Each structure stands twice: as C-alpha cells, then as structure tokens.
C-alpha cells in the first residue's frame, strides 16, 4: 500500500475524525485477550513517554544473552514488503536500501515493486548477493506479495487462480497482504500472509496523524518533534505498534486448514519525510517529499497562529521544516522476519520460508536473534521446529528459548491455552493435536508490547 500517513484524509474536520476514532470498539474476542495496553498512541508520542521507553529498551538490551544457533541453521533477518524506485510515491532508492540494510544488520530484502506495466518487476531489478545482502525481486499486486522464480508478466491480469499457479510454480511464493482489506480472501494455495503490517498501524490512527500535522505547524511543538526524532528515533517509529488482531485472526483461521507462513510487512517506501513549505507570511503547505505542490495541504495562521513565527525571515517557496520519520534503517530495525536456514541464498531462503521456519520480531526493543521454538519427544530430543508438521504422540512437548526473559502466550487453534512470565525458557506439554503458535511480549514503560510471533508447530 502507499502512504503510512494518508494526508489527503485530513481535509475532513479534525474534531469529527477524532470523535469517530474513539467510538471504534475493541476487536478481540472476550476471554482470549492479548495483554492490555496502558497508553494511547497520542500518549506514547509525548517526549517523557518516548524517553521512558528508551530507558527500558536500553536495560533490556544490556540483559540480552546470546543463544547458540540450532544445529545447521542460521537466523537471518529478512525484510519482506519493501519498496524502492518503484512509484511516484516511493522516496527511497536501492543503493540507499542496501546501505541501510547493512547498518541495521539485515541479511535479505525481498522487494515488492508496484507493478508498472509493461515493465517486468523481475527484469533489471537487483537479484542475488549485493555486498553481503541478498536481494530477491517481487511485486505487490492484487492484494498479494508475489515472489515467482521467473517472470509472470503475461499472467499479472489473469484470473487469480491462474496467477497463483504461475507464481507458485517451482519454489515461487505468494503472501496475502494488507489483510484488513481482504479478510475473506481464500487462503488455498497461498504460501502465507502478512501477520503484521506497519501501514495498518498508521492507517487506523487518524488522531496521531492530526497530532503530527499540528506539531509541524507550531514552532515550539515542531522543536519537540525534531527532538523526538533525534533522541528517540526507534521508539518514535514504533509508537503506533498495536497487537495486529485482524491479521492474526486471519492467520489462525487459515492455519486450521492450511500451513501458512506468517511474515512481517515493513511496507517501507522512505516517503514519510514531512515538509512544511512557505506560501506567504501567513500560509504554509504541509505534506511529504513525494507530494507534488498541488497535493500538499494548505494551512493558514488563522488555524495555526504559530505559522507567523515560522515564516519570519523566510521567503515564499522556502522549506521551513523537514522531518524524516522513516529512513529504511529505522524501518528495518523496527521489525523483520527472521528466517532459519542453513545458508543465505535465494533457493535456501525460499525453502525455509515455505516451510514456515521463520518468526516475526520487533527487534527494536531487543534483537530476537537466536530465539528457538521447537517440539521435543519423550527422550527430550527435538522432533521439529516452528513451521513443521508432526504427528501427535504421548509425551510431546513444546519448548522455547529467548535471548531475554519475557512474557509468553501459547495459542492452540487461535485460542490462548497457556501463558508464562519472567522466563527465558518455557516448556508446555502437548495434550492434544492442534496448531500451536507462540507469542512473546516485552514490557517497556510499564506496558506490554508484542515482541515475537513464532510460526506454528502443526500437531496433527
Ligand atoms: Zn506496499
Ligand atoms: Zn506503495
């Protein structure tokens, strides 16, 4: 999808939107609730909250231990759903992406170009190892992320089953994307789905967009926003992160019938670079670097009196403020899909993703690398890892190990069946078949935040 902050929507009355927002009910089914939030997004945006979050994050990172990798498997941090040089609303480039991937410790980027016919999204795109980072071409179209092995150009507009067949030929993969827009999409034949999308957090949070717009048009509040970006960049990017209920509901429903790999969607474009441009002493234009002038929003001093102070000493056309919210490095560090694979090349990563040997982590709080989730038999030996399908036997156990003590939830067929807290190793006996997935949570600033979503172990 496109912009994390859909500015065009702000043309509607601010007050009505804010009121509407507070009228939206909670989504979770009763009795199966994830840990409750303590603060609203607006509260999380405040400097003292961001500071408190960072203090806890630094503590967590200092307590982190290194876990030995599972025999023959490495933990590769991969980015799926990423855009560069693929549309007029994309701000970032491929060389920028590569440089930022190296800074954020990313091993692979699976691109998702917006389809620009007649251009093929595979031809001429980066593919293979670039300075240690693996690139895999792909496309976002028809509500899915497509990663075919070879061109499917002739099938892009074919009936969906035909496209699906072409994409998944050989080791091709297809993931359902922006799940909130297509909760009834059939899952038959899909490799998996996004279980988190950064864009959804932003899209459903109009009050924060309005708050950011207000900050950008007042000198004192702008200085605070600039301070937040400078001092607490990762905490700021994560302030909207919510439990992705609508995504995991679709996942839990789908895995009752199919094996579906859950992945994280960064949906990064590096386009959330806000600018304030002077029109005259009492008027500015507000938008992002990818907006044309006629797409920017005009704001006057009648609404935001601070504008007069901002324009002082400037001339029409001057950029009065520029705030970069989403460089790739920050987005990559925020969340990634960890893929457990013997080596870093395209066929091996495809095999691991298709097998569900992967988990989603919000590494900005504490890097999850090394996390293990596996099944053990009566002799204590591992009989399978996340993504695997096993036969139910007496004495089967599920065990997990984390680089830091955390809170966990074990879900069977989407229903919480066990929880733990304050432990870095957990073990659960398996009493009946089912689809068992594990979530881990960390507490920062007194508030539990989702940290790890492991792919399920399917006990049949
Ligand atoms: Zn996208
Ligand atoms: Zn886009």
For residue 180, the domain's CATH number is: 3.20.20.140
| Residue 279: inside a domain | yes
- Judgement on whether residues 250 and 197 belong to the same structural domain of the protein: yes
CA of 138 to the centre of ligand 1 (A): 11
What is the C-alpha to C-alpha distance for residues 426 and 417, in angstroms, rounded to an integer?
14
Task: Write out the two tokens for 277.
Answer: 């441009």
Mean pLDDT calculated for residue range 388-413: 97
The ligand minimizing its distance to the Cα of 91 is: 2
- Judgement on whether residues 170 and 264 belong to the same structural domain of the protein: yes
| Residue 27: inside a domain | no
- Judgement on whether residues 244 and 169 belong to the same structural domain of the protein: yes
Residue 214: which domain range? 1-19+35-43+206-238+273-324
- Judged by average pLDDT, the poorest of 25-34, 196-205, 324-333 is 25-34
pLDDT at residue 268, rounded to an integer: 96
CA of 248 to the centre of ligand 2 (A): 23
CA of 332 to the centre of ligand 1 (A): 14
- Judgement on whether residues 64 and 197 belong to the same structural domain of the protein: no
| Residue that finishes a domain, picked among 356, 376, 402 | 356
Alpha helices in 67-157 (DSSP H): 94-103
CA of 221 to the centre of ligand 2 (A): 29
Mean pLDDT calculated for residue range 436-450: 98
- Judgement on whether residues 61 and 115 belong to the same structural domain of the protein: no
CA of 199 to the centre of ligand 2 (A): 10
| Residue 24: inside a domain | no
- Judgement on whether residues 306 and 334 belong to the same structural domain of the protein: no
- Judgement on whether residues 344 and 409 belong to the same structural domain of the protein: no
The ligand minimizing its distance to the Cα of 198 is: 1
- Judgement on whether residues 186 and 85 belong to the same structural domain of the protein: yes
**pLDDT exceeds cutoff 90 at 215:** yes
What domain count does the chain have? 3
- Judgement on whether residues 222 and 210 belong to the same structural domain of the protein: yes
Residue 31: pLDDT band by 50, 70, 90 thresholds? low
pLDDT in tens, 111-141: 999 999 999 999 989 999 999 999 999 999 9
Pairing mode, strands 434-444 and 447-454: antiparallel
| Residue 159: inside a domain | yes
Buried b / exposed e along 189-198 (16+ C-beta atoms within 10 A): ebbbbbbbbb
- Judgement on whether residues 137 and 217 belong to the same structural domain of the protein: no
CA of 244 to the centre of ligand 1 (A): 17
Q: How far is CA 120 from CA 156, 288, 420, in A?
A: 10, 28, 48
Closest CA to 121 of 71, 82, 70, 63: 82
What is the C-alpha to C-alpha distance for residues 399 and 415, in angstroms, rounded to an integer?
18
**pLDDT exceeds cutoff 60 at 422:** yes
| Residue 58: inside a domain | yes
CA of 3 to the centre of ligand 2 (A): 7
For residue 426, the domain's CATH number is: 2.60.40.10
Residue 23: pLDDT band by 50, 70, 90 thresholds? very low
Mean pLDDT calculated for residue range 202-218: 95
| Residue 28: inside a domain | no
CA of 112 to the centre of ligand 2 (A): 9
CA of 334 to the centre of ligand 2 (A): 19
What's the sign of the alpha-carbon dihedral 160, 162, 165, 166? negative
| Residue 249: inside a domain | yes
pLDDT in tens, 286-323: 999 999 989 999 999 999 999 999 999 999 999 999 99
CA of 79 to the centre of ligand 1 (A): 12
Mean pLDDT calculated for residue range 19-39: 60
CA of 116 to the centre of ligand 2 (A): 12
| Residue 29: inside a domain | no
- Judgement on whether residues 278 and 299 belong to the same structural domain of the protein: yes
**pLDDT exceeds cutoff 70 at 19:** no
- Judgement on whether residues 92 and 148 belong to the same structural domain of the protein: yes
CA of 48 to the centre of ligand 1 (A): 32
């Amino acid at each position: 999808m496109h912009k994390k902050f859909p500015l065009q929507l702000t043309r509607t009355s601010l007050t009505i939107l804010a009121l509407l927002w507070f009228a939206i009910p909670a989504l979770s089914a009763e009795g199966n609730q994830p840990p409750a939030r303590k603060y609203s997004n607006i509260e999380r945006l405040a400097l003292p909250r961001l500071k408190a979050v960072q203090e806890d994050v630094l503590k967590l990172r200092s307590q982190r231990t290194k876990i030995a990798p599972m025999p023959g498997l490495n933990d590769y941090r991969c980015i799926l759903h990423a855009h560069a040089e693929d549309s007029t609303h994309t701000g970032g480039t491929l060389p920028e992406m590569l440089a930022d991937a190296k800074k954020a410790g990313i091993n692979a980027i699976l691109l998702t170009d917006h389809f620009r016919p007649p251009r093929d999204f595979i031809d001429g795109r980066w593919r293979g190892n670039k300075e240690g980072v693996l690139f895999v071409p792909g496309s976002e179209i028809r509500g899915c992320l497509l990663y075919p092995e070879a061109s499917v150009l002739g099938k892009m507009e074919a009936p969906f089953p035909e496209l699906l067949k072409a994409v998944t030929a050989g080791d091709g993969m297809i993931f359902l994307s922006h799940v909130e827009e297509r909760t009834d999409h059939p899952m038959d034949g899909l490799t998996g789905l996004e279980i988190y999308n950064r864009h959804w957090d932003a899209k459903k949070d109009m009050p924060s967009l309005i708050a950011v717009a207000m900050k950008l048009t007042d000198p004192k509040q702008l200085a605070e926003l600039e301070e937040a970006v400078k001092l607490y960049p990762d905490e700021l990017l994560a302030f909207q992160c919510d439990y992705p209920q609508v995504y995991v509901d679709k996942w839990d429903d789908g895995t009752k019938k199919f094996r579906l790999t859950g992945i994280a969607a960064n949906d990064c474009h590096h386009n959330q670079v806000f600018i304030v441009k002077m029109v005259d002493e009492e008027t500015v234009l507000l938008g992002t670097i990818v907006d044309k002038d006629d797409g920017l929003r005009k704001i006057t001093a009648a609404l935001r009196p601070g504008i007069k102070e901002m324009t002082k000493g400037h001339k029409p056309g001057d950029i009065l403020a520029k705030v970069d919210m989403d460089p790739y490095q920050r987005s990559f560090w925020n969340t990634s899909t960890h893929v457990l694979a013997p080596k870093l090349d395209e066929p091996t990563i495809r095999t691991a993703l298709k097998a569900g040997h992967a988990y989603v982590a919000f590494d900005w709080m504490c890097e999850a690398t090394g996390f293990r989730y596996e099944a053990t038999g009566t002799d204590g030996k591992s009989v399978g890892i996340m993504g695997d399908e096993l036969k139910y036997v007496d004495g089967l156990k599920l065990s997990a190990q984390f680089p830091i003590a955390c809170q966990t939830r074990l879900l069977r067929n989407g229903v919480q069946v066990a929880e733990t807290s304050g432990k870095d190793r957990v073990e659960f006996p398996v009493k009946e078949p089912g689809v068992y997935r594990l979530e881990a949570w960390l507490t920062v600033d007194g508030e539990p935040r989702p940290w790890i979503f492991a792919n399920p172990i399917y006990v049949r």
